[in-house]
Amino acid sequence: MSNSIKLAILGLGTVGTGVINLINDNLDELKRRSGRDIIITEVGTRRQRDDIDATIIQNSDLMATAASDNVDIVIEVIGGTTLAKDVIMHAIKHGKHVVTANKALLAEHGNEIFAFAEAHNVHVAYEAAVAGGIPIIKVMREALAANKIDWLAGIINGTGNFIMTEMRDKGRPFADVLQEAQELGYAEADPTFDVEGIDAAHKLALLASIAFGIPLQFDKVYCEGITGITLQDVNYAEELGYRIKHLGFAVRRDGQGNADAAGIELRVHPTLIPQEALLANVNGVKNAVLVNSHPLGQTLYCGDGAGAGATASAVMADVMDLVRVLGSKDRDDQNNTGHHVPHLAFIPEQLSDTPILRAEQMTTGYYLRVHAYDSPGVLADITRILSDAGINIDAILQKPAHKVGQVPVIILTLPVVESQMNLAIEKIEKLDTITDKVVRIRLDELE
């Protein structure tokens, strides 16, 4: 067998350049671990780069590079869901293994891509697509393979975590922190994917499929951003012993005897969690994923979720796995792809059709901020409506008036089905004593 593994890198932005630097810096270490020379033979780039080794072919024709006989593994880091998909499918068609950091592409088209890879006896590896340098895909596909995962919760967007941390620690308003995040390069010029939760929803779709053995279903992830979070709510949460984090949740529900309530919750939204919780103390641009499984229990995985070094580390971890796959194939001298874990951890034929619960079927606790006239009987009316809806109150906090004659009332509830809360809020907002829309933020004790 050949002693060298030949790589093509498609895209020479921050991540692609980071991969080149990592290989150059750790060349000897990579060979000691794999027993092979790992070399970059081609790169796909729109413009010629003077800082690339002259022995590496630079090609603006990405399709040609993806199909080159001079390439064993194609690394896709161009992003997007159109050209990237075409290039990856072309590489697979030509028998190339693929490594990608493209969470949007996989969340939206992963079922098709993985099936195509299976049909062509190649693998698509994607550790870098979720949580940067944290090896959460490998952990869930391999280290937790004997566990039944009940739920997971994650800070899986560093921009959102940076914004929430700065708001809490420094009392800064959302718009001010967002501008700084853009200046620091944490947020794009158009920050929609980060602050509205779309980026986190892409990642959650991948994590949920691996956790529960279901097809990718990004379109069924409930998604709510952080643009409506105010300093007022951040401070009230702190006073009550909670912190607000932007989290993704994937939760298995058994329905407790009600078959219609059985299924999987996929949701991304701001969440109050206890100040002492592990996730509550993951700050700045860090990512973290908390997994609750049986029999292991809760385990936390935390680290850098983005950046050249973190993402390149995850990309090359996938490359090293594929190097071993190629080595196994060569040793076996058979038409197989070596020893590798299925793309979504479960044998494709064993993926489940477990339903994804709709938003109104989800169960969480709630933080409610209600603004009301300071008059007798207001609190009694609110608590009566909640009680009639079968909602149990955990705590109530009445704050000094912000406007003459108006007071904010803060209520924390125990977990309740969302449809019940929707009806209760609708009735509360119809009271003559209520002066504004009810602010609601979900709450989870992470137990």
Q: Is the pLDDT of residue 2 over 80?
A: no
What residues does CATH 3.30.70.260 cover in the chain? Answer: 362-443
Give the pLDDT confidence of 212-247 residue by residue, as tens digits.
999 999 999 999 999 999 999 999 999 999 999 999
Q: How far apart are CA 307 and CA 60, in angstroms?
A: 25
- Rounded mean pLDDT of 280-306? 96
pTM of this structure: 0.94
**What percent of the chain stands above pLDDT 70?**
96
Q: Is the pLDDT of residue 329 over 80?
A: no
Residue 258 has a pLDDT of: 74
Residue 406 has a pLDDT of: 86
Is 159 marked within a binding site? no
Q: Which two tokens stand for residue 65?
A: 């590079």
From 13-17, 102-106, 387-391, the region with the lowest mean pLDDT: 13-17
Residue 171 has a pLDDT of: 96
- Rounded mean pLDDT of 415-419? 96
- Rounded mean pLDDT of 200-213? 98
Q: Which residues of 348-367 are buried (b: 16+ CB within 10 A; e: fewer)?
A: eeebeeeebbeeebbbbbbb
Torsion of CA 235, 237, 243, 247, to 10 degrees: -110
Give the pLDDT confidence of 349-369 residue by residue, as tens digits.
999 999 999 999 999 999 999
Give the pLDDT confidence of 6-29 residue by residue, as tens digits.
999 999 999 999 999 999 999 999
Domain boundaries 137-303+353-359, CATH class: alpha beta
Q: Is the pLDDT of residue 260 over 80?
A: no
Q: How far apart are CA 154 and CA 159, in angstroms?
A: 14
Q: Is the pLDDT of residue 330 over 60?
A: no
Q: How confident is the model at residue 400 (pLDDT cuts 50, 70, 90)?
A: confident
Residue 333 has a pLDDT of: 47
Superfamily of domain 362-443: ACT domain (3.30.70.260)
Q: Are strands 37-44 and 4-10 parallel, antiparallel or unpaired?
A: parallel
- Rounded mean pLDDT of 338-351? 84
Q: Is the pLDDT of residue 300 over 80?
A: yes
Superfamily of domain 4-135+308-350: NAD(P)-binding Rossmann-like Domain (3.40.50.720)
Task: Determine which one of 96, 203, 245, 329 is catalytic.
Answer: 203
What residues does CATH 3.30.360.10 cover in the chain? Answer: 137-303+353-359
Question: Catalytic site residue 403?
Answer: no
User: How many residues can be counted in the chain?
Assistant: 447
Q: How far apart are CA 273 and CA 259, in angstroms?
A: 29
Q: Which two tokens stand for residue 174?
A: 């959302």
Q: Is the pLDDT of residue 297 over 50?
A: yes
Do residues 438 and 382 touch, judged by C-beta distance below 8 A?
no
From 56-70, 97-111, 219-233, 335-349, the region with the lowest mean pLDDT: 335-349
